[in-house]
Chains A and B, each alone.
Chain A
Amino acid sequence: MALELPKDKWSGSVQEVVIGATAADGGTRTAAVTVGGETTMPFVHFEAETPNRPVLALEIKDFRPNDWSTLLLDVWGEATNDPGAWAKAAEEAGADLLLLSLSLTDPEGNPNTPEAAVKAAKAVLEGSGLPLMVYGPGQAEVDNELLVPVANACQGERIVLGICEDKNYRTLVATAMANGHLVVGRAPMDVNLSKQLNILIKDAGLPLDRVLMDPTTGALGYGIEYGFSVMERLRLAALRGDAMTQSPMSVNVGFETWKTKESKVGDDVPETWGDWEERAISWETITAITLIEAGADIVILRHPESLKRVRAAIDNLITAPELS
């Protein structure tokens, strides 16, 4: 007897968003990346196909970071001293797009400057043809000071500027509008605030096909279940037709997992924790796959091996299983 699978009928869908512009669209990227467009909960193949695969970004820095795990510094090696070279290495490692996160200070401890930020962004664009996201260091004033000149310098490239928060979004939205870029908005694991921020960004004038949302999540063992249900609720609301929750979701898995004790600490841990590098990669990989199941459209990672493993998992998830 044939099994009749019950299907949900949804009235809404996730907004489709294109990141990066090729020469044909006035940029210099070798290919653009399209995310979103889903019309079902994640990978419910019997209801509808997943129109765009979740994409994987690798995070690189403008300066060799002094707060990153030595595991990461070792695997990226010399490239960490040169954002252009790091971008090239990340592209070769298989990333779909890049996140350049700008530092608060240079390695000598001097405040970062707009000139240095622009130089780093330009080097990344030259080092790799991948679409680009650029985040400020996370302090409102410094973010605006660094990102506005970067946005101007990258005009036409359709980069993603981040991160908009409820107290600081107008400047980023304005410069994104002026330069043909996108923004990502972040609320602290709260569906109400995520939605509110999207309303504010839209009211400030940016069309919704240029907005991503970062719902904020925790790493495995550090609140991932809470992040999961926030993402699930946002996706359900999007499918029910709430336009202000339909932005594709971007999650910064690398940032979250590499600060956990399990990833950070190699010495003086119980022997049963096993090999440090394997553990750290697994932490990043499992967190990423879990959030992809929750509906993440963009996953930002740090370790190239994690990227390979998450990519393999997506390959499995994206094709409908044979039902017998």
Chain B
Amino acid sequence: MYIIGENIHIISSKVKEAIKEKDAKFFQEIAVKQVEAGAQALDLNLGPRKKDGEELFPWLVGVVEEVVDVPLSFDTTNLAAIEAGLKKITKAQPIINSTSADPERLEKVPLVAKKYNTKLIALTMGTGMIPVTADERVNIAVEQLIPRMLEIDFPVTDLIIDPLVLTVSGCQEYCPELIEAIRTLQYVWDPSPHISVGLSNVSNAVPNANRPLINQVYCAMLMGVGLKMMIADPLDKELMEVVRIIEERDESTALSKAYLGISDKIGEMEEVTTDQFDLDDPEQKAIWKTVQILMNQVIYADSYLEQ
């Protein structure tokens, strides 16, 4: 699993504060921490930064590249800020996060990606409603995103398609759709583009205490259909453990068997069933309840674990 560390994110009040103070040490520490925890790239999500993006991104690139060698992912809608940051890159091939099928963005962003030889994350959404069914998402990739890359001769192998994780709290019925979108997307083009998702989005608007479990179980499901790249929190030790269990096919504990079982069943297009879990074990029971909400079999509620 190729993990793009998500922790430099404007939603965090500490990050906001560090931007304001131009606190280089803060960003260096959080960068090193993520890489040491297993991140193979770092997402830099600073929001649109309309006023100071063209100054802030280059500054941050310099700060972060002083301490880590991994690719940096420019996560903003501000294309000028991205370009300013890209000029400053001296180490690994960076990532632009992101374009979409919005005609204006799809026109401009891939050209920048090509000019600076970056990888490019492309979201399966256009200008209208976020597409929700697996087919709609795949169609946007096949009919709009990939053709644009071919048109400008941008290598499809540098393209990273993000079929959009939606939150289980409010968009529950589409959680299984994403699984199917990922399953299909791997076979729509040869050579295949990469596929990546923003995992933590699945637990947006979920109370903090329940977020890690939902992220972990969804991760096992998505790995079952072949997900090999994601923007996620590498500091979530339990999440990293789930990744390890599935990659190494670790069957040594009841818990690892439970996670592996979820991943395998989803991979085989079979239903995950209650008999795969020891319901006397509270941890496995919670995992089973989480499977049911993520597969849209039981309606999500904030207190779903207490039901």
Q: Does B170 contact A (CB under 8 A)?
A: yes
A242 in contact with B298 (CB, 8 Å): yes
Q: CA A191 – CA B169 in complex, angstroms?
A: 10
B277-303 interface bits toward A, Cβ cutoff 8 Å, 1 = contact, 0 = none: 000000000000000000001111111
Report chain B residues within 8 Å CB of A168.
none
Report chain B residues within 8 Å CB of A234.
299
Q: Does B172 contact A (CB under 8 A)?
A: yes
Known A-B contacts A192-B169, A192-B170, A192-B172; the reply to A233 vs B306 at CB < 8 A is no
Q: Does B307 contact A (CB under 8 A)?
A: yes
Report chain B residues within 8 Å CB of A200.
303
**Chain A residue with Cβ nearest B298:** A242
A237 in contact with B298 (CB, 8 Å): yes
A240 in contact with B297 (CB, 8 Å): yes
Q: Say how far A201's CB is from chain B's closest CB, in angstroms.
A: 11
Report chain B residues within 8 Å CB of A233.
299
Q: CA A200 – CA B303 in complex, angstroms?
A: 8
A196 in contact with B303 (CB, 8 Å): yes
Interface of B is mostly: loop
* Residue among B169, B172, B298 with most chain A CB within 10 A: B298
Report chain A residues within 8 Å CB of B303.
196, 199-200, 203
B307 in contact with A192 (CB, 8 Å): no
Q: Say how far A38's CB is from chain B's closest CB, in angstroms.
A: 17
Report chain B residues within 8 Å CB of A243.
307
B307 in contact with A199 (CB, 8 Å): yes
Known A-B contacts A192-B169, A199-B307; the reply to A244 vs B301 at CB < 8 A is yes
Q: Does A245 contact B (CB under 8 A)?
A: yes
Report chain A residues within 8 Å CB of B298.
237, 240, 242
Q: CA A188 – CA B278 in complex, angstroms?
A: 37
A195 in contact with B299 (CB, 8 Å): yes
Q: CA A237 – CA B301 in complex, angstroms?
A: 13
Report chain B residues within 8 Å CB of A203.
303, 306
Size bracket, chain A contacts: 10 to 19
Q: Say how far B170's CB is from chain A's closest CB, in angstroms.
A: 6
Q: CA A191 – CA B303 in complex, angstroms?
A: 13
Report chain A residues within 8 Å CB of B301.
192-193, 195-196, 199, 244
Report chain B residues within 8 Å CB of A195.
299-301
Q: CA A182 – CA B302 in complex, angstroms?
A: 24
Report chain A residues within 8 Å CB of B302.
192, 196
Report chain A residues within 8 Å CB of B307.
199, 243-244
Q: CA A192 – CA B169 in complex, angstroms?
A: 7
**Chain B residue with Cβ nearest A243:** B307
* Residue among A190, A192, A234, A237 with most chain B CB within 10 A: A192
A175-211 interface bits toward B, Cβ cutoff 8 Å, 1 = contact, 0 = none: 0000000000000001111011001100100000000
Q: Say how far B175's CB is from chain A's closest CB, in angstroms.
A: 13
Residues in A260-281 with C-beta less than 8 Å from chain B: none
Q: CA A68 – CA B29 in complex, angstroms?
A: 64
Report chain B residues within 8 Å CB of A245.
299
Q: Say how far A238's CB is from chain B's closest CB, in angstroms.
A: 10
Report chain A residues within 8 Å CB of B169.
192
Report chain B residues within 8 Å CB of A244.
299, 301, 307
**Chain B residue with Cβ nearest A202:** B307
Q: CA A304 – CA B172 in complex, angstroms?
A: 41
Report chain A residues within 8 Å CB of B306.
199, 203
Q: CA A199 – CA B302 in complex, angstroms?
A: 9
Q: Say how far A245's CB is from chain B's closest CB, in angstroms.
A: 6
Report chain B residues within 8 Å CB of A240.
297-298
**Chain A residue with Cβ nearest B205:** A192
Q: Say how far B129's CB is from chain A's closest CB, in angstroms.
A: 15
Q: Say how far A271's CB is from chain B's closest CB, in angstroms.
A: 37
Q: Give 8 A-B pairs besides A196-B302, A196-B303, A203-B303 with Cβ atoms closer than 8 angstroms.
A: A192-B172, A192-B300, A192-B301, A192-B302, A199-B307, A240-B297, A244-B299, A244-B307
Listed from nearest, the 9 A-B pairs whose CB atoms lie closest are A196-B301, A195-B301, A199-B303, A237-B299, A195-B299, A192-B300, A196-B302, A191-B299, A242-B298
**Residues of B bordering A, CB below 8 Å:** 169-170, 172, 297-303, 306-307
User: Can you name 12 A-B residue pairings with CB atoms under 8 Å?
Assistant: A192-B172, A192-B299, A193-B301, A196-B302, A196-B303, A199-B301, A199-B307, A200-B303, A203-B303, A237-B299, A240-B297, A244-B301
**Residues of A bordering B, CB below 8 Å:** 190-193, 195-196, 199-200, 203, 233-234, 237, 240, 242-245
